[in-house]
Structure 1
Amino acid sequence: MARPLRLMEIFVELADSLIDDFDVIDFLQRLSTRCVELLDISAAGILLVDQHGELQAVAASDEHTRLLELFALQHSEGPCVDCYHSGEARVNIDLTDLDTTEPWARFAVRARQAGFRTTHAVPLRLRDRVVGALNLFHTADVPLSDEDVALAQAMADIATIAILQQRTLDRSSLENSQLQNALNTRIVIEQAKGILAERWNAGVDSAFSSLRAYARAHQLRITDLAYAVIDGRLDTTLIPAPSAVDTSPAARRRRLPR
């Protein structure tokens, strides 16, 4: 499918998901996978700032990327952290260039160990307020074009607008509640997919995919389903266990839902 047509479809899909009481985490998870598809990169992740001003990892296209983001937050270093604090994009960073990566050498080492060669970060920003960063990774030394950078920023803007939707009269209260709700639900989902992964003896990426698929098939919020898994209200044998699949970046891109 031609990229402009696919781009239009994805923007319509994301806009249609912004309904009342929409699932923030599922929306951001979907957006991260769409970034992988549209930008032809290997992985993507999203960081959000909580009500205490601390960055948190809330979405990632795969588990390796989520762990890399957690490492960056633990050590408070990396292009994504710099991007949040400056409000400026950091793109086409060569992770093998020791001079470029010197300010966050530990992050660069961990990223290379995960198989990544280049990285990019664009801010989640609405006017003068920065609420996080969208992080992009590639296993090859392939730069983003100016058009790709603009598209990445557009995707980050969609995420920002979704998070900061004005659904109450008190804007600051809305921002805090939306951000904190996203962070809290992320924890619940992580627990649920961990339970399923252990029960099935499967990878957490596969467990999460099965969890999302079941939620969509039964028109459930993924957060509500995660709570049901954790507190035992749902018979987890009803959720189809994942089959063994190729988890390489290329294979993941081929399996992205259309």
Structure 2
Amino acid sequence: MVNADRLAETFVELADTLVEDFDVVEFLHLLTDRSAELVGVDAAALLLADPHGRLELIATSGDRLRAAEPHRLHTVEGPGVDAFTTGAPVDEPNLRTDGHRRWPRFAPAAGAAGFAAVDAVPMRLRTDVLGALTLFRTSPGPLGATALRTATSLVEVATIGLVQHRSLHHHQVLAEQLQSALTSRVGIEQAKGLVAERLQIDMDGAFAALRGFARAANLKLGDVARAVIEGRISTRQLLSPNPRRGPHRP
């Protein structure tokens, strides 16, 4: 059953895109993480179209998905690509049967990673489709009407937030933000690997440390990742309960 309080809190967070220091990277990770949590699936992945209309994988939840081949195939074929192309939800309750026919490369890779069913919801507002959110499950079967409504509602609120932000700051600003998100994602992945290795923790723990430090210090996630890579924030500082404002030399 969906936690009503948590769902309401998430809607408020996803609608708050008008602040001056709006962080699109954190916003998209929030959408992905909360969707997996509230819909009750094992992993989620978010695709967004870049300024040229090419799909890019922006955010994922769960190490199982990040380490798997579907992570690399996600922008080539699969339910997310289909949802973006058609602008309609896509479901496949059993990847081991019909999934192989629909997505001959994606389905076997997803199955090898332990996933048995997928659904995808387009990030769509009227005729604009910005991307798609894919939901992965380790057990076969339909997602369920309530879970699908929850996923659709979260994606719709997030899409409205992005489009609203774009309308106030012009299309070029959104394009620059999405490009920045792509660039930041590379740095974040590098920083996660560095933190995981040095602190001897898994990738989820490394990401939580980066994200927690960014929130506590009121910094953008991408800026913290870059500072960690450049050595301006030490990996041990990420675990500090009271980080000082701004990157500094360890």
Is the Cα–Cα contact under 8 Å of residues 166 and 174 in structure 2 kept in the other structure?
no
Structure 1: which amino acid aligns with 2:73? A
Residues 145 and 234 of structure 1: CA distance in aligned 2, closer, same or farther (over 3 Å): same
Which residue in the other structure is 1:24 paired with?
24
Which residue in the other structure is 2:247 paired with?
none
SS of the counterpart of 1:223?
Answer: helix
Which residue in the other structure is 1:227 paired with?
226
Which residue in the other structure is 2:248 paired with?
none
SS of the counterpart of 1:219?
Answer: coil
Residues 168 and 95 of structure 1: CA distance in aligned 2, closer, same or farther (over 3 Å): closer
SS of the counterpart of 2:20?
Answer: coil
Residues 181 and 163 of structure 1: CA distance in aligned 2, closer, same or farther (over 3 Å): farther
Which residue in the other structure is 1:202 paired with?
201
Q: Distance in 2 between matches of 1:22 and 1:142?
A: 38
Q: Higher mean Cα deviation, 61-70 or 176-185?
A: 61-70
Per-residue deviation, 1:129: 1.3
Matched residue pairs, number?
A: 239
Is the Cα–Cα contact under 8 Å of residues 46 and 57 in structure 1 kept in the other structure?
yes
Q: Higher mean Cα deviation, 43-52 or 18-27?
A: 18-27
SS of the counterpart of 1:105?
Answer: coil
Q: Distance in 2 between matches of 1:111 and 1:228?
A: 34
SS of the counterpart of 2:119?
Answer: strand
SS of the counterpart of 1:136?
Answer: strand
Per-residue deviation, 1:217: 2.2
Is the Cα–Cα contact under 8 Å of residues 92 and 118 in structure 2 kept in the other structure?
yes
Alignment of 1:47-66 (within 5 A): 47-66=47-66
Q: Distance in 2 between matches of 1:136 and 1:199?
A: 31
Per-residue deviation, 1:18: 5.2
Which residue in the other structure is 1:34 paired with?
34
User: Tell me, which stretches of 5 or more residues in structure 2 are unaligned?
Assistant: 241-250
Which residue in the other structure is 2:244 paired with?
none
Q: Distance in 2 between matches of 1:139 and 1:103?
A: 18
Is the Cα–Cα contact under 8 Å of residues 118 and 137 in structure 2 kept in the other structure?
yes
Is the Cα–Cα contact under 8 Å of residues 88 and 122 in structure 2 kept in the other structure?
yes
Question: Which whole-Å deviations, capped at 9, do the CAs of 1:76-111 have from their partners, x for residues lacking one?
Answer: 1111111111111102431111x3431312211111
Which residue in the other structure is 1:178 paired with?
177
Q: Distance in 2 between matches of 1:39 and 1:84?
A: 20
Aligned-residue sequence identity (percent) comes to 43
Q: Higher mean Cα deviation, 222-231 or 170-179?
A: 170-179
Alignment of 1:1-258 (within 5 A): 3-16=3-16, 19-66=19-66, 67-73=68-74, 76-97=76-97, 99-166=98-165, 171-240=170-239
Residues 16 and 163 of structure 1: CA distance in aligned 2, closer, same or farther (over 3 Å): closer
Per-residue deviation, 1:168: 6.4
Q: Distance in 1 between matches of 2:34 and 2:188?
A: 20
Residues 88 and 52 of structure 1: CA distance in aligned 2, closer, same or farther (over 3 Å): same
Per-residue deviation, 1:202: 3.0
Is the Cα–Cα contact under 8 Å of residues 45 and 60 in structure 1 kept in the other structure?
yes
Give the aligned CA root-mean-square deviation in angstroms.
2.3
Per-residue deviation, 1:33: 1.5
Q: Distance in 2 between matches of 1:205 and 1:2?
A: 23
Please report the TM-score for the alignment, with normalisation by the length of structure 1: 0.83
Is the Cα–Cα contact under 8 Å of residues 163 and 178 in structure 1 kept in the other structure?
no
Q: Higher mean Cα deviation, 219-228 or 161-170?
A: 161-170
Please report the TM-score for the alignment, with normalisation by the length of structure 2: 0.85
User: Tell me, which stretches of 5 or more residues in structure 1 are unaligned?
Assistant: 242-258
Q: Higher mean Cα deviation, 60-69 or 23-32?
A: 60-69
Q: Distance in 2 between matches of 1:176 and 1:16?
A: 19
Question: Which whole-Å deviations, capped at 9, do the CAs of 1:45-97 have from their partners, x for residues lacking one?
Answer: 101111222111111112332344532246x1111111111111102431111
